Every structure is written in structure tokens, then in C-alpha cells.
Amino acid sequence: MIRIAPSILSADFSNLAADVKRVENAGADLLHIDVMDGNFVPNITIGPGVIASLKDKTRLPFDVHLMIMEPERYIENFVKAGADIISVHVETCMHLSRTISLIKEYGVKAAVALNPATSLSTLDYVLQDLDMVLLMTVNPGFGGQSFINSMINKIASLKKIIDEKKLIMDIEVDGGINSDNISSVINAGANVIVSGSAIFKSKDIKGTIERFRTAG
């Protein structure tokens, strides 16, 4: 089943609760929350306080994407803020397996994110421990970037590995997803679709979400 996770990076931060409610009412499945520290990526967004303030404003599960250095130091804070899924970047974790275990100890789902240039081989020894892999299809840091077309092959390669190992997990993609590439992304094997601008800037959010969900 294809699930749609609007990214609040493209929401109106002066009207955030209302924007979140809009995508919930339009049929979104998850809320994708990008946390950036201005160190690992060249942007700063929000922290646990803002996430906690949204928790009672929506029924959507919180898919929290930590684009930060030393994420293991902050896992507890984001769990307490309301995260249901936490993604950490392989590029930022010196002890990746330990960080995954820490996330799971708090009873939330664990995911690992990979930048476009990062090889799938970095997942060789942790894949079986994950609930989801997040493949970045732009270089992270800012919304509204163009999709990197070569990532279609990477999605397909990950799907093949997961199937060969007979694992059950989600493949999430994030970056530049729109009506022009959504079918290719889904057909390659992705089943959780992150989209910011294409959803929040749409004049018909419900229609956009439904077209994305049925695009494969």
C-alpha cells in the first residue's frame, strides 16, 4: 500500500497547525518532519518543542527525519516530543547499530536515511534491524529541489535487496517528488512518498494526494 507523507518543510510555519490539519483532512497517512541543525545540512528548521506542540493537533503519525550530527544524543527528546518513526542518517552515526537499538528501546520505529551519493552497501549489517529505509532523492537541506533521476535505479536496487533477503520494511523517498516522476518512483519499489511543495502548494491537496497514492 502506498502511503503519503507531506513534508512540513513546505508548510506555512506561521499557520503550521492549520496546515497540518489541512493535509490530514485531505487524506495524508503520515506527517514528515525534517529536523535540520545547520551543521550536517546547510539549514536550520525546528526542534522537539515545535513537534510536541503539534502532537495534540493531529492524529497523523509523526515521521521525524533527523538531519543532525550526533542524533543519538537527542533520540529521547524526539520520542518524548511525539515521534512515531525516527530516521537517522548513516553519514552522521559513528555507531549506527547502537543508534538503531536505542530508537527501538523507546518503542518507536527505526529508519536509516541515505544521501544520494551514499552507497546502499552502508546498510549491509543493519538492514535486518530496520523498519524503513529513507532514500534522499535530492541533496538534503532545502525544500523545492529537483529530483535526481539516477535515484530511480537506487530505489530499484534497494527493493531487490529487500526482496532477496525476504525482509518486510518500507522504502521511503524524499526530495523533488511530483506528478512527473511519482509513477517511476513507485514502480521502482518505493511505498512511502514524501512530498512538500507539490502537496502544500497544490490548489487541490486532496486530489494531489490521491493521484500520488494511485500513480503506480
Of the residues 19, 63, 131, 174, only one is catalytic, namely 174
Cβ atoms within 10 A of the Cβ of 117, count? Answer: 9
Residue 34: active-site member: yes
Q: Catalytic one among 19, 29, 34, 131? A: 34
Distances (CA, A) of 160 to 97, 194, 214: 22, 21, 22
Query: Could you tell me the three cell numbers for 70?
Result: 550526533
| 174 given a catalytic annotation | yes
Active-site annotation, residues: 34, 174
